[in-house]
Amino acid sequence: MVSEQIVGRRFVRVRHVDGRVRAGVVADDALAILETDDVLAVLTGADPGTVIQRVAVDDPETLVPAEPWTLLAPVSAPETWAAGVTYERSRDARVLESDAAVFYDRVYDAPRPELFFKDAAGRRTVGQGEPIAVRTDAVWSVPEPELAVVLGDGGEPLAVTIGNDVSARDIEGANPLYLPQAKIYAGACALGPALLVPSDWTAPFEIELRILGADRELLFSGRTSTGRMRRTIPELIEFLVRDNPLPAGSVLLTGTGLVPPDDFTLVPGQAVEIAIAGIGVLRNPVG
């Protein structure tokens, strides 16, 4: 159960140049580095021990710390899952891209949501500043900015972060059975920069997406809100844990309501920035 003392606070994971991993608490323009490396334990009320160091950050939104510390993905998720077609905009995009459009149109209004596996043990997930990737056999790849929920024992929601469910839309659109290939590959997921423990789980989160070119020119920008979701977070969690033994620390990406134009595709040299108020900004180059 989440400790009341940490509601509204942000937490990170950092790595020292010598390889040590530690949890940290965001405090104004600095990170308070803790003795423990177990962010989940801190979220559920365990004693984190003393603060071993305070490290400055240049930007309170991206939270990149001063050397010799490096910001990691805020949780080492044993499993990462994702929900699809939870926004009307996402439904419309999937219908247009797919030769099997009827399936996506039906699932938007169906009692059962679309849920799919995204990653295991963080093998395909990157953190702040690390490169996301596009498949070498795809010609149409896009970022999908999403609110991500970190789950505890039994699926209890512990915190939220920013997620990027990078997808190969041409592969997915060719056949729904290709969904795993379109969604699961190296660098296809990004999480960060911090975990936020919301004071109100029913309040909507505003999500902003910016895609920048190699010269930092703006290629695309858009905004949406989790208030536009067709399904609630508790509903998605309930289906995810139904007959499914979910390890504590797993992450659920809740779907996207922002889709770049059909003539846009990610290419190396670009950068993707996703901002969610209260959490920060997740920035990743395209590798």
For domain 79-285, the question of CATH label 3.90.850.10 is answered with yes
Q: How do 189-196 and 167-168 pair as beta strands?
A: unpaired
Nearest to 159 by CA among 233, 85, 50: 233
| Reported pTM | 0.93
**Helix or strand (DSSP H, E) at 217:** none
Ranges of CATH 3.90.850.10 domains, the chain: 79-285
User: Tens-digit pLDDT profile for the chain (287 aa)?
Assistant: 666 668 899 999 999 999 999 999 999 889 999 999 999 999 998 888 899 999 999 999 999 999 999 999 999 999 999 999 889 755 455 555 555 556 666 788 889 999 999 999 999 999 999 999 999 999 999 999 999 999 999 999 999 999 999 999 999 989 889 999 999 999 999 999 999 999 999 999 999 999 999 999 999 999 999 999 999 999 999 999 999 999 999 999 999 999 899 999 999 999 999 999 999 999 999 99
Residue 230 zone, left/alpha/beta (φ > 0; ψ -120 to 50; rest) = alpha
Beta bridge partners of 58: none
The residue assigned the tokens 């809740």 is: 254
The residue assigned the tokens 């323009």 is: 29
Beta bridge partners of 27: 30
On whether the CB atoms of residues 189 and 125 are closer than 8 A, the answer is yes
